[in-house]
Structure 1
Amino acid sequence: MRQGQQAAAQVFETSVPARMDRLPWDRFHWLIIAALGITWTLDGLEVTLVGSLAGAIHESPSLALSETQVGLSASAYLIGAVLGALFFGWLTDRVGRRKIFFVTVIVYMISSVATGFSWDFWSFAFFRALTGAGIGGEYAAVNSAIQEMIPARRRGTVDLAVNGTFWAGAAIGALSALVVLDPAIIDPEIGWRAAFVVGGALAFVIMLLRSWVPESPRWLMTHGKPGEADHVVSQIEAQVEARQGPLPPLEYGPVRLSRRGKATMREVLHVMLHRQRRRTVLGVTLMACQAFCYNAIFFTYALILTTFQGVPANEVGWYILPFALGNLLGPLLLGPFFDSIGRRTMITATYAISGILMALSGLAFQQGWLNAWEQTLAWTVIFFFASPAASAAYLTVGESFPLEMRAIAIAIFYAFGTGIGGVAGPALFGWLIEGGERTDITLGFLLAAALMVLAAFAEWKLGFAAEGRSLESVAAPLSTHEG
């Protein structure tokens, strides 16, 4: 009898998911977007700074990096991001979302400032790797928290829009580069260093914003803390109700969970390799293909303009700015269709369109048909579609697996996709550009295009419906009690 009572005490029902999903859109949700979504803006700022400043760093009397070293430093950033994602992703599922997204922003802040004081290639690459570790950890912790706190009916729209703010950071980085590389304003040798220092200092503002963000109630719920989860949701409901009046009724019932220990890596791998094998194949394909395409093009964007189009290094920002704005508008304008038309159709379409257009632009580049602005326009149109496709890869991975392993799942797929596509892409394209042959660059473009079309095919065959559904119905928590 006593054992039965103890077993019963380990089982509980909670309406936390239904209560979070029924909330009307409120200032609370804007706070989540502002405080957590800033991660992608920072990443965009960091990546664009290196892209826009590549020419100045290459010509820097103190560093004088070769084209290959510029590509390798980009790969160092991504290697750091991979390792940071894995380490902090593992911690995020164990100790909570809130603690980790404070730690990761501190890592980012310190290492970004340190980059501004680099003295040679090795120090520059090392500090870039540490900066990447902070950003990689942010992806796991922040993606998890955002998906768990946004109502199901808007999860796709918000997730894509937040991921798309990477390009707001890219636009800021491009504009900043125009200032810090203008000899009439500041010595470019000081300017590129100051850009990294200021970028790191912005992290302090982020820490202030995040002090108002609570722990994810869903994380608390699935880690045997239903009382704390209920308390957090009650506080959120009280604030929303005070501003918007009585809340709508619940749209579905409670979930029945068991108190259990933390998910082990053995459980994580069992779910990925056995229970959800199709989703694992899909996630790997989407992440790796978009990572290669994006990082190969964007990390070497400035080098292509300066090497093949004759654009001065201090004017590259003007060409990156429209490209960044196109990438930002894609998720904002197309994002709502991922919740209305559906994930499978929209992901397939965006990957396929961007891949086909990439192949066509590569062939036009080979023939020399495009000048600098025409090349920029072509890439702007391509990545208007590729940007929501890439954001949807993170959305898909987050929705594919149980709550107890969501952060480490995001981290593993981010690490694998970035390791395969992201690290190899910049190094390969840097080497191709250094060779100085348009035909070699075109082969890189065609490879990126083929990978995007492959990802579209994988989504069409393996994609699943998640629009408008609670996270728990898309992927049942490991702690679900069937009795």
Structure 2
Amino acid sequence: MASGVETGRITTSIPARMDRLPWAKWHWIIVLGLGTVWILDGIEVTIVGSLSDALKPEGTGLGLSSSDIGLAGAVYVAGACLGALFFGQLTDRFGRKKLFMLTLGVYLVGTVLTAFSMNPLWYFVCRAITGAGIGGEYAAINSAIDELIPAKYRGRIDIAINGSFWVGAGVGALLTIPLTDKTVIDPEIGWRAAFALGAVLALGVLLVRRNVPESPRWLFIHGREEEAERIVSEIEHTVESESGKKLSTVSDTLTIRQRKTIPLTTIAKTVFTLYPKRTVLCLALFIGQAFLYNAFFFTYGDSLSTFLDVKQTGYYIAAFAASNFVGALLLGSLFDTVGRVKMIAGTYILSGVLLAVAGFMLGDLTALTLTIFGMVIFFFASAGASAAYLTASEVFPMETRALCIAFFYAVGTAVGGISGPLYFGKLIEDASAAKDITGIAPGYFIGAALMVAGGIIAIFLGVHAEGETLENIAKPLTAEDDDGAGGSGHEEPSHQPA
């Protein structure tokens, strides 16, 4: 059968039934099974940054030079970008569950092989594999979470889960303190054990994830409505048993023209032709948060050690990470109550202004005051940055969701993880030579300007998606219009759900 050919038409109430569910223990299984990938990413990024000195010696490490360390970071980022794009389109084509099991498996293999690295080339290849798994996870997981979590809770859960990256960052920072201490553990064993710990956590997640079902929304669009009905009925029975309450009936339905696959050309047209304003919005949000984090976090460790005479940065990074997670956790519910547009614009603009203020005050800050400044800035910025992922995952049609997440993640990660470090690395080098911390201030100002710009764009182009079912925010490409013509109906509003 040709790609994209209609296989049938159904009228379903599944979206309304999923969104009217009260919060129950079943939803925590989804959060634990799918959300912990960000903890893994946080551990990976922090451990690699903290282990750079342990990887340099010939005997106990891999004989890596400083440029090799930088190359390894770029390889990881490139792998994540390519993995997101590759696995993202497979997620939309073959289903959420197949891919979120596969991508976690890729990460698991990559990080285990990293622990057994015997030379630089092996290490680089393993970093690329690990990055590809993490990038693929972002696309598969965000799409699955949004399609399984009720509309009332979608914002806060998505933001808290994305913010859990910083739980991993904090844990990674603290773990590297004993693992890089020669008096505690053999240096060669220490850095290998650090990578192995990520694999142990991933294996536990894999076991929990087996209990997470396929997205019923994906199933009924792809001609598997009977399986979708069975899964939703089982979820409803479980939630009723756990809550002790009888679920209300629903009347809202959706008529779908089923397809086995959706052509990539249709997906591209959707993103850039039908929803150009939302595309601009997502690009602005992802690029802004990528530069913000690199402007501060990429220079943070060097600022502490090079300019402020801090010998052990792990505790400072852990405090910074804690503030990021607490911000996402405490502010997340406001994205569902106060609203997406106000909260995204507010967190972006406020954190951008505060970063600019920090840039002007750099010469007067101590290690403690710089860390406090960073904790305040990123208390707000973390929730905003997480909302960028939330926005990309909910404002485009279901058939394109995973690939859209992958595209914006890849662009933001490439800008922030490749061009950003190159620029900020040069700033650090020049500032170190001049022994003047204010030399990194231009990086702060650029990150601040991009965040403020992202917040302003959100004011004009943001979508009020709070409490709305995904199908109201962006009608599925396969959905029929109310008149049954099934033709247009995908016009893009600037402020209200489609």
Normalised TM-score (structure 1): 0.94
2:117 is matched with which residue? 118
Counterpart secondary structure, 1:259? strand
For residues 464 and 327 of structure 1, do their structure 2 counterparts lie closer, same or farther at Cα, with a shift above 3 Å needed?
Answer: same
Q: Is the 2:13–2:250 contact (alpha carbons within 8 Å) kept by the matching residues of 1? A: no
**Displacement, 1:119?**
4.3
2:492 is matched with which residue? none
Query: Distance in 2 between the 1:327 and 1:302 partners?
Result: 16
| Equivalent residues in 2 for 1:53-452, closer than 5 Å | 53-57=51-55, 62-63=61-62, 65-250=64-249, 253-312=252-311, 315-365=312-362, 367=363, 369-435=364-430, 436=432, 437=434, 438-452=437-451
Query: Distance in 2 between the 1:55 and 1:296 partners?
Result: 22
For residues 211 and 22 of structure 1, do their structure 2 counterparts lie closer, same or farther at Cα, with a shift above 3 Å needed?
Answer: same
1:38 is matched with which residue? 36
**Displacement, 1:301?**
3.1
Give CA deviations for 1:288-328 in whole Å, capped at 9, x if unaligned. Answer: 1111222453344323322222222xx22111111010000
1:3 is matched with which residue? none
1:18 is matched with which residue? 16
Query: Distance in 1 between the 2:203 and 2:322 partners?
Result: 26
Which residue identity does 2:133 align to in structure 1? G
Which residue identity does 1:404 align to in structure 2? E
Which residue identity does 2:414 align to in structure 1? G
For residues 66 and 349 of structure 1, do their structure 2 counterparts lie closer, same or farther at Cα, with a shift above 3 Å needed?
Answer: farther
Moved more, 272-281 or 373-382: 373-382
Give CA deviations for 1:158-188 in whole Å, capped at 9, x if unaligned. Answer: 0001111111111111110112022221133
Query: Distance in 2 between the 1:92 and 1:209 partners?
Result: 20
Query: Distance in 1 between the 2:399 and 2:146 partners?
Result: 13
Unaligned runs of 5+ in 2: 1-5, 485-498
Q: Is the 1:52–1:302 contact (alpha carbons within 8 Å) kept by the matching residues of 2? A: no
Alignment RMSD, CA only? Answer: 1.9
2:27 is matched with which residue? 29
Query: Distance in 2 between the 1:286 and 1:69 partners?
Result: 31
| Equivalent residues in 2 for 1:467-478, closer than 5 Å | 467-478=466-477
For residues 433 and 401 of structure 1, do their structure 2 counterparts lie closer, same or farther at Cα, with a shift above 3 Å needed?
Answer: same
For residues 380 and 251 of structure 1, do their structure 2 counterparts lie closer, same or farther at Cα, with a shift above 3 Å needed?
Answer: farther
Query: Distance in 2 between the 1:170 and 1:373 partners?
Result: 19
The count of residues paired between Structure 1 and Structure 2 equals: 473
Which residue identity does 2:244 align to in structure 1? G
Which residue identity does 1:418 align to in structure 2? T
Query: Distance in 2 between the 1:193 and 1:150 partners?
Result: 37
Which residue identity does 2:327 align to in structure 1? G
**Displacement, 1:342?**
0.2
For residues 269 and 400 of structure 1, do their structure 2 counterparts lie closer, same or farther at Cα, with a shift above 3 Å needed?
Answer: same
Which residue identity does 2:11 align to in structure 1? E
Q: Is the 2:240–2:247 contact (alpha carbons within 8 Å) kept by the matching residues of 1? A: no
Q: Is the 1:37–1:162 contact (alpha carbons within 8 Å) kept by the matching residues of 2? A: yes
Give CA deviations for 1:178-212 in whole Å, capped at 9, x if unaligned. Answer: 12022221133431221012212321111100111
**Displacement, 1:12?**
1.0
Q: Is the 1:22–1:250 contact (alpha carbons within 8 Å) kept by the matching residues of 2? A: no
**Displacement, 1:260?**
2.1
Query: Distance in 2 between the 1:198 and 1:49 partners?
Result: 10
Query: Distance in 2 between the 1:299 and 1:122 partners?
Result: 25
Normalised TM-score (structure 2): 0.91
Give CA deviations for 1:334-369 in whole Å, capped at 9, x if unaligned. Answer: 00000000000000010111111111112222x2x1
Q: Is the 2:389–2:405 contact (alpha carbons within 8 Å) kept by the matching residues of 1? A: yes
Q: Is the 1:55–1:302 contact (alpha carbons within 8 Å) kept by the matching residues of 2? A: no
Query: Distance in 1 between the 2:287 and 2:175 partners?
Result: 30
Unaligned runs of 5+ in 1: 1-6
Q: Is the 1:286–1:393 contact (alpha carbons within 8 Å) kept by the matching residues of 2? A: yes
Q: Is the 2:359–2:438 contact (alpha carbons within 8 Å) kept by the matching residues of 1? A: no
**Displacement, 1:244?**
1.9
Moved more, 432-441 or 90-99: 432-441
Counterpart secondary structure, 2:181? coil
Query: Distance in 1 between the 2:260 and 2:98 partners?
Result: 19
Query: Distance in 2 between the 1:120 and 1:431 partners?
Result: 28
For residues 442 and 69 of structure 1, do their structure 2 counterparts lie closer, same or farther at Cα, with a shift above 3 Å needed?
Answer: farther
Query: Distance in 2 between the 1:450 and 1:261 partners?
Result: 44
**Displacement, 1:281?**
0.6
Q: Is the 1:68–1:427 contact (alpha carbons within 8 Å) kept by the matching residues of 2? A: no
Give CA deviations for 1:243-266 in whole Å, capped at 9, x if unaligned. Answer: 223433245511111112412111
For residues 21 and 92 of structure 1, do their structure 2 counterparts lie closer, same or farther at Cα, with a shift above 3 Å needed?
Answer: same
Counterpart secondary structure, 2:256? strand
Counterpart secondary structure, 2:10? strand
Q: Is the 1:96–1:215 contact (alpha carbons within 8 Å) kept by the matching residues of 2? A: yes
Give CA deviations for 1:83-128 in whole Å, capped at 9, x if unaligned. Answer: 0000110110111110111111111111112222334544433322
Moved more, 117-126 or 175-184: 117-126
Moved more, 131-140 or 180-189: 180-189
From 30, 45, 60, the counterpart of 1:47 = 45
Counterpart secondary structure, 2:477? coil
**Displacement, 1:81?**
0.5
